[in-house]
Structures are given as structure tokens and as C-alpha cells.
Amino acid sequence: MTDKKNPEYDFTWCPGCGDFGVRRAVEVAMRDWNIEREIPMSHNVVVAGIGCSGNLVHLLEGEQPYGFHGIHGRSLPIALGVKMAREDLNVLVVAGDGDFLSIGMEHIAPQAARNLNVCAVVMDNGVYGLTKGQSSPTTIEETVTSSTPYGKMEAPINPLELYLTLGVTYIASGYSSKPRDLAGLIKRGMEHDGFSIVHVASPCTTYNDTYEVLKGNKAKGIEGTAWELPDDHDPSSRSAARGVIEQGGVPLGVVYQDAERPSLDRRIAGVRERVKPKSPDALLDAFAL
Amino acid sequence: MASQTEIVVRFAGEGGQGVVTAAEMLARAATGVGFHALTFATFPSQILGGPTWTQARIARAPIQSPGDSVDILVAFNDEAYNEHRSEVRDGGVILLDPSVTPDPGDGHRCISVPFDELAKQTGESRAANMVVMGGLSKLINMPVTYFKEFVASRFAGRDKVVEANHMALDLGLAHLSEEDAISDLGEPDPPDYDQVFIKGNEALSVGAMHAGIEFYFGYPISPATPVLVYMERNLVGPGKFAYQASSEIEAVTGIIGAGFAGRKAMTATSGPGFTLMGEGLGLAWMAEIPCVVVDVQRGGPATGLPTKTEQSDLLAAISPAHGDSSLPVIAAGTVEECFYAAVHAFNWAERYQGPVIVLSEHSLAERAQNIPRPDLAATPVESRDVYRGDNGYLRYESGDLSPFPVPGGAGAYVANGSEHDAYGDTTHLAKHHVHLTERRFGKLRLLEDGTYESENAGAPVAILPWGGSKGSAREAYDRLREEGEDVGWLYTIFLNPMPPAMLDELRAKDLVIVPELNYQGQLAGLLRAQGVRAEAITQYTGLPFKPSELSERIKARLAGAGARQAVTA
């Protein structure tokens, strides 16, 4: 038996939750990755944050990867430990906007600086869902939520702009209603030798239903905010990436990729080649009387 | 001139004046020829300047504490002289920088030595320390050749430096006269076993290396930073690496990730960093991930006293996280025990599959001392029981310890910080919380193999120190026994879980006296909760106990205990 069937596990997302689509995309990306490399699913580790999004690690269907459902905000450093310990493993982070961008914000910059070779899939619904509807870093200003009864007083952050500024070397933006495209973005992120973030608009049907905003509604004269990146967008260009981000909305595709900067894996391998390890006995010799 | 079995030399001045290295140099030179020595250092939390003092205690027999009164004070400025001269014993000597004017009423012999001026004559202005050493060799009647040999080996291949330092030693020696000598340690009696001269933090680091550490991840913090620095330099090789974290939160979650991935992982920190690791340690306990966290204690709470010693993190070490947990704690009490504590900690973590805390403290971390070279071949190393079956394994099904699946191999599961079922999936059901809470606490029984010291077991009252107070307490105990006091000695590095047989012995005592460097009497309180009639002797000055003061305080308690017993009888 390799597929998991846990009769007792009863958590599920609300009907229409964007995270269903993200789960499908993660499953497809990992499956294709394994087939191409002829490796078993057990070589994949999914590190989850805390929140609705983090439950993805329990809801994966089919053959199971290793999973780690840790503590709020710390999915990145747990993933860092897994990857630094075992560079042979494919390490994926799944987190939400609250987990990743509020409590976990401090962990993005160091991983970008290190160019840690993990892929983070961030499910952004612009709200804290599991705690029932408080404002998150990406909630729009003036929005009334249970924690902002008089309107949100903070400016929302622009995650893509943040990632670019911090030096993340692969930045993709996707939409949960396009799981096939999203799977492609995630797989490219896994293939990227460095820190990759796939930021996904994944609406919350209960507390922040943005499907209409993203897709638009011709009948109501609403233009969708999600837009496909043009074929001639050059992701290796920082200024082109900045231009895309400044256009606003939710661009769909690879916004930026720097394939030149060496990953932490490669730098560590370089040190291991240069430095000869000493045995504990030899280490004691240095203190011998 | 009296013959002495030991000498204490204190160096006091400002940071950057060579004060820190002087004590170490003296101790290293003395141990190099067969004496026993250890250093004590305390300094302000700044790079240059600020009042700093260190001392070296040199003896003919093995020693474990920084000692009592000072035989020789070397004072580099007025402040140092005024602050420390009262600590010099009657008949002791004070060497002074010429800038210091001694108090005419000072009963000690004060000798002015132009350290810097004499050093300049050698062409090597940094040789001032060697001028001091030369003077000391006259004062304690220790052949200057001991220091010369040390200099020759330390600066091997740098003939000019050796020459200048040798000259500095001779100048210092010549500056003092035979009448200045205060004592004679006599010929050393070199131990007949191999030794190393090492600091507590270094011994702990080498212990981790022997235990098979594969991943070190740490954030700089006094006084744990030397462990990070040592690991960064030395922990490298296939599957091995050390790396600087961006915070203590990152450090602890990082080693948990590495532990989950099958590696032996460790971080070292001090009080404030340890507090930040609390939630992560709860995760490691909950998800059953082996890892080792070292807390090199300093004065607390908050930023506290970063460069002073204290033993006030015991309660935090056992319960760093919210919720039901009881983390295994091993507390080193000597430099030698720093090595073994690290090895035992990894063995425990691997055996019971969870986090283990090592407690050290500032005074041990910075203490340089000659210790028997650890016998690596005789120090066993354990590794976790890895799951080697097929898929379909239920990691958390058993009520006991179960084999550990490693990513890449069969047995995929979800390691979960939320309460979980047999699959590792999140649950809120009482039956799972009861089952796994009992499993997690039950595994602690696997760690009840700790050894302990017990002497004069029949005595109704025992002394039980923990951690770095061991040395002072031991010397106090020896004094009391020599004076005919009927008091017993109990000691272990394994504070949680304690060796059950030791706990039985403790419960049988009328009184257990616990010397510890905190206000609350943390271990004494824990022991009382376990049915031991324990009373603490506390001190919270940022400095270790002095053996003489401690033995007096114990004696007072013994008298009190005797009086109480008489009343009860």
C-alpha cells in the first residue's frame, strides 16, 4: 500500500476553496518530477505552514511524499534544515499569506540571500481563514474584517515586489483555477537551482471570495485582475519583471528568473571540495598537552 | 618562603590589555610542565575597554574551582587595583602598572613593574604579557624555562617573535628580586595519563563531533558563540556542514528539519536565544524529532548579564515550551563533563527520538583547563533505530518508541506539531491525545540509565550540587569531611530524568543541600516536588561560589539540621 487512506481524517476545505486547485497542481508537479527522474515519491518532502493552506500536506491524494506540518510561520527554516541536511531531496513548502508573509516574513530574506534550493508555493487568499476571517498582510486597505471592524488601516504588501527586492531567484505568479498552468510553474520552480516562490491567488469562498475580481464578469462590466504574461516577457530581465509587477493585478507566468546565481547547495559542495574534514581524534590532538 | 600546593594569580585591567590571554597563557605554560591549572574569566559585553579580570589557579593536584583568595594580583590600572586588592590574601603580592599609585595604607607588598616599557625594549611591544610572566616566575619560584618552552612551541617557526618574548621573560624576571618570591610550588608531579588543555565550549564541541554531529546551525550569542565558531571551522565533510542562522527561531527549526531528514543536528545558544527556541522545542517533542540544543547559561532574565555566570535556566530547560512536556536535560559541571554531556545528549536524542537540552554556563564555557584526554574508543555513540520496512507504516501507531522513517526511504508520514493520529494527520480526538501524550512521556523511561556519584551514603544529610557549582561544592565537601562533618555527596549530570536509584537515595535523606547559582533554588524546588527534603544554598552575583564561603554556609545548615533533628527527637 503506498496510497494513504486515513478513514478518520475529516478536515476539508470549504466548497470552492482555491486550495483544491493548488493541491492538484502540487500533485501533478511532483508526479511529473518523479517520472522524469525515475525516483520514488519518498524523495519529496512537503513542509507545510499553519493555516488552511498547510492542511494540504494531509490532503494529498495518491502516493505519499514525506510531510512536515510544523509550527506557524516556520515552514521555510524547517525546509532549510531538511535541504541542508539532504540536498538529494526535493523540498517543497506550502504556506498561506498569513503564515508566509506575516509571522514568517523574517525567513524570506535569509533564504533569498542564501539562494536556498527549495520551492515555496504560497496560497494567497488575502485573509486568515482558519481563525475565521481576520485581516492578513495582503488584505486590501479599508477592508472590514473581524479584526478590522472599522476598516484595515495598513497598506497591503505587494508580495511579488517584495520577492524581487529580496533577491528571490525564481518568482512565478499563478491562479488556483488554472491548476495545469500552475503545475507547470511549480515544476519549473522545483527545477530551478535556487530559491523559488510560486505565489498563487487562491480565493477563500467563505471570507474573501475574489473569484469575480480575478476572472472578471462581463455582464457586470468587471474586468478581471488576472492577466497572462505576454510571450515576449523576458523573465531574466529584472527591469522587465519590475515592469510586470508595476502593471498591477495578478500576472500569470514566470515573472523573474535568475539562473546564474549559484544555489546554497552548490556553494556548500564547493566548500566540501576545498576543506578536508578532521577526525575527532585529530581534533583532540589540537588541544594535546 | 613558604611552600604552597597551589597559587591563584588574578589579572585585572581593561579589555584589550591582554588581561584575558594572560591567565590562559599562565595556565597553559604551567600545565605544559605537569601542574594542574584552570582559568576563570569575566568581562563586560564590549570589544575594547571596560573592567575585565581573569585568574589562573595552578596546583600540584587536580582542581575543579577557580579557588578562594588571591595570592598575586596583577593590576593594570587604578580601577583594577582598587576593585581587587581586598581579595588578595595576607602576605600576597600586587604587581602594578607604573601608572598606579598604591594606597600607602595597603598592607600588601606592592611592586611596580613597567610592563610596557620593558616590552618595548624587546622590539615587540605586544610582549608585555611575557614581562608579566617573567615577573610571576620569580614570584612563585617557577623556572622561567617553563614559559620559554611554551613560547617556543606556541610561536614555532617565528624566530624573531620567540626571541623577543624570551627577552621579555628575562626582563620581567630580572625586574624582581629573590626576596619578592612568595611561595614555591615545587616540582610538578605530571599525571601519567594523556591530557588536553581545553575550554568548556571546545570540549563540548569536540564531544558533539565524536557523537557524530552532521548539521550545526546557530546564531551568535555570548557565551555560546565559540561553539558556532568551532563548528563553522571544523564541521565539514560528506553529509556534514555548519552554518550561521539568521535567528534562534531559524536555528532551532532548522535543526529540527535536519533531524527529521535523518541527520544528527545541534544548535548552541544562551538564555535569550533559548527562550526564542521554546516553541520549536515543543515541536521537536511533539513530532518526535531527535536534536540537541545547548544552553550556555548566563545571567538572566531578558538580556540579563551576558558575560556573567548563573544557573537560572534549569526550569526553562525542562519546560521551554507551552503544554505538557518534560525535556531531557544533561548539565555539565566540569570542562571534562562538557565533552561527555554532548556525547550523552546525542545518544539520548537518538535513542528516545526527541530533543535533548545540554546546560553549560559561562564560567565553564570560558574555563581553560587540563583534563584527561577523552577516551574516544571507550565512549560509545548511538544512532536512532531507522525504519527499514515497506510503505504503509504507521509512524505514530505504537504506544512506545517506534522505528524512525527517513525521507528518501519507505514509510512516508507527516511529522506533525499538531496532535496527530497514527498516520501523523492532525486530530482533535481525545483518544489520540491521550495515547500519544503517554507515548511521549513513556519514552523518557529509556533515559533512566544515567550514572551518578555517591559518597558517604550513610550520612543523614547530603550535598547535591548541579552544573558548574560542582567544583566549588566538591572542594567545600572535602573540607567539611576533613573537619569531621558527617555529610554525604551526591552528584549527576543527568538532571531530567534523574537516575531513579539516585532519587531513592535522595528521598532517604533528612536533608539534601543544593548549592546553586540562582535566586529561587530551582533544582531544590524540583526535588521537593519529587519528595526530597531539599534546601538550596543560593548565590546570584554573576560569579561562582567560593569554596570557603560555601563550606561555611553548608556548615551553618548542618548545624541547623542537627538542631531541628534534636527538637524532633
User: Is A4 in Cβ contact with B31 (below 8 Å)?
Assistant: no
A271 vs B contacts (CB less than 8 Å): 236, 241
Q: Are B335 and B198 in contact (CB under 8 A)?
A: yes
Which residue type does A8 have?
Answer: E
Looking at residue B46, its pLDDT comes to: 65
User: Is A284 in Cβ contact with B412 (below 8 Å)?
Assistant: no
Helix intervals (H) in B288-413: 314-318, 335-352, 362-365
Three-state SS at B371: strand
* ipTM given for this complex: 0.97
For A19-285, which CATH superfamily applies?
Thiamin diphosphate (ThDP)-binding fold, Pyr/PP domains (3.40.50.970)
User: Is B370 in Cβ contact with A58 (below 8 Å)?
Assistant: no
User: Is B426 in Cβ contact with A58 (below 8 Å)?
Assistant: yes
Nearest chain B residue (CA) to A4:
B392
B243 vs A contacts (CB less than 8 Å): 84
Three-state SS at B355: strand
Q: Are A95 and A122 in contact (CB under 8 A)?
A: yes
B208 vs A contacts (CB less than 8 Å): none
Instruction: Determine the distance in angstroms separating the CA of A186 from the nearest CA of chain B, rounded to an integer.
Output: 21
Query: Quick one: angle between helices A75-85 and B248-260, nearest 10?
Result: 50
Residues 414-433 of B with CB under 8 A from A: 414-418, 421, 423-427, 429
Looking at residue A41, its pLDDT comes to: 96
B261 vs A contacts (CB less than 8 Å): 45, 81-82, 85-86, 89
From A41, A82, A271, residue closest to B260, measured CB to CB: A82
DSSP B386-425: B--S-S---TT-SSS---B--TTSS---EEESS-B-TTS-
Q: Are B108 and B92 in contact (CB under 8 A)?
A: yes
Instruction: Determine the distance in angstroms separating the CA of B423 from the nearest CA of chain A, rounded to an integer.
Output: 7
A77 vs B contacts (CB less than 8 Å): 245, 249-250, 253-254, 257
CATH class of the B2-184 domain in this structure? alpha beta
Q: Which residues of B236-263 are buried (b: 16+ CB within 10 A; e: fewer)?
A: beeebbbbbbbbbbbbbbbbbbbbbbbb
Q: Which residues of B444-464 are buried (b: 16+ CB within 10 A; e: fewer)?
A: bebbeebebebebeebebbbb
From B239, B409, B427, residue closest to A42, measured CB to CB: B409
Point out the residues of chain B with pLDDT beneath 50. none
From the list A100, A119, A124, A120, the residue with the least C-alpha distance to A202 is A124
DSSP A177-229: T-HHHHHHHHHHHHHSSS-EEEEEE--BTTTB--HHHHHEETTTTEEPSEEEP
Interatomic CA distance for residues B146 and B150, integer angstroms: 6
B206 vs A contacts (CB less than 8 Å): 280, 283-284, 287
From the list A95, A73, A91, A94, the residue with the least C-alpha distance to A83 is A91
Backbone angles phi, psi at B479, to 5 degrees: -60, -45
User: Is A6 in Cβ contact with B421 (below 8 Å)?
Assistant: yes
Interatomic CA distance for residues B291 and B128, integer angstroms: 45
Nearest chain A residue (CA) to B235:
A277
Looking at residue B42, its pLDDT comes to: 82
pTM of the full predicted structure?
A: 0.96
DSSP 8-state secondary structure symbol assigned to residue A127: S
User: Is A88 in Cβ contact with B414 (below 8 Å)?
Assistant: no
Instruction: Determine the distance in angstroms separating the CA of A265 from the nearest CA of chain B, rounded to an integer.
Output: 11
Residues 235-264 of B with CB under 8 A from A: 236-241, 243, 245-247, 249-250, 253-263
B214 vs A contacts (CB less than 8 Å): 85
Interatomic CA distance for residues B427 and B418, integer angstroms: 8
A99 vs B contacts (CB less than 8 Å): none
Other beta carbons within 10 Å of B96: 22
User: Is A278 in Cβ contact with B234 (below 8 Å)?
Assistant: yes
Instruction: Determine the distance in angstroms separating the CA of B305 from the nearest CA of chain A, rounded to an integer.
Output: 27
- β-strand partners of B42: B53
A65 vs B contacts (CB less than 8 Å): 412
Interface test with A, best of B215, B425, B427, B428 (most A CBs within 10 A): B425
B194 vs A contacts (CB less than 8 Å): 288-289
CATH class of the B197-378 domain in this structure? alpha beta
User: Is A41 in Cβ contact with B261 (below 8 Å)?
Assistant: no
Looking at residue A1, its pLDDT comes to: 39
From B238, B257, B283, residue closest to A82, measured CB to CB: B257
The grid cell for B52 is: 575585565
Q: Does B323 touch chain A (CB under 8 A)?
A: no
Q: Does B154 touch chain A (CB under 8 A)?
A: no
Q: H or E segment at B4?
A: none
Q: Evaluate whether B197-378 and B453-568 have a shared fold.
A: yes
For B84-103, the pLDDT digits (tens) are 999 999 999 999 999 999 99
Query: Quick one: angle between helices B335-352 and B200-211, nearest 10?
Result: 30
Residues 350-389 of B with CB under 8 A from A: 370, 373-374, 376
CATH node for B453-568: 3.40.50.920
Interface test with A, best of B58, B201, B253 (most A CBs within 10 A): B253
From the list A5, A57, A2, A59, the residue with the least C-alpha distance to B422 is A5
DSSP 8-state secondary structure symbol assigned to residue B307: T
Q: Are B309 and B322 in contact (CB under 8 A)?
A: no
Q: Is the peptide bond before B465 cis (omega within 30 degrees of 0)?
A: no
Interatomic CA distance for residues A284 and B384, integer angstroms: 26
From A8, A57, A86, residue closest to B261, measured CB to CB: A86
For B158-256, list the strands marked E by DSSP. 183-184, 195-199, 215-218, 236-237, 240-244
CB pairs < 8 Å spanning A and B: 188
Instruction: Determine the distance in angstroms separating the CA of A250 from the nearest CA of chain B, rounded to an integer.
Output: 31
Q: Provide CB contacts within 8 A for A239, sequence distance 6+.
A: none
A11 vs B contacts (CB less than 8 Å): 426
User: Is B423 in Cβ contact with A4 (below 8 Å)?
Assistant: yes
- β-strand partners of B414: A67
B191 vs A contacts (CB less than 8 Å): none
Backbone angles phi, psi at A255, to 5 degrees: -80, -40
From the list B473, B499, B498, B456, the residue with the least C-alpha distance to B557 is B473
Domain assignments of chain B as residue spans, ordered by start: 2-184, 197-378, 385-447, 453-568
Point out the residues of chain A with pLDDT beneath 70. 1-4
Residues in chain B: 569
The strands making up B240-244's β-sheet, listed across from edge to edge, are: B236-237, B240-244, B215-218, B265-269, B291-297, B355-361, B329-331, B494-496
User: Is A66 in Cβ contact with B407 (below 8 Å)?
Assistant: yes
Q: What percent of chain A is predicted at pLDDT more than 70?
A: 99
Backbone angles phi, psi at B179, to 5 degrees: -65, -20
The grid cell for A8 is: 478518520
Interatomic CA distance for residues B213 and B482, integer angstroms: 44
A9 vs B contacts (CB less than 8 Å): 421, 423, 425-427
What is the number of alpha carbons within 13 Å of residue B280 lying toward its C-beta? 32
A269 vs B contacts (CB less than 8 Å): none
From A74, A109, A283, residue closest to B249, measured CB to CB: A74
Instruction: Determine the distance in angstroms separating the CA of B472 from the nearest CA of chain A, rounded to an integer.
Output: 25
- β-strand partners of B404: B386
Which residue type does B568 have?
Answer: T
From A55, A64, A86, residue closest to B412, measured CB to CB: A64
Backbone angles phi, psi at B194, to 5 degrees: -70, 145
The residue assigned the cell 581573569 is B54
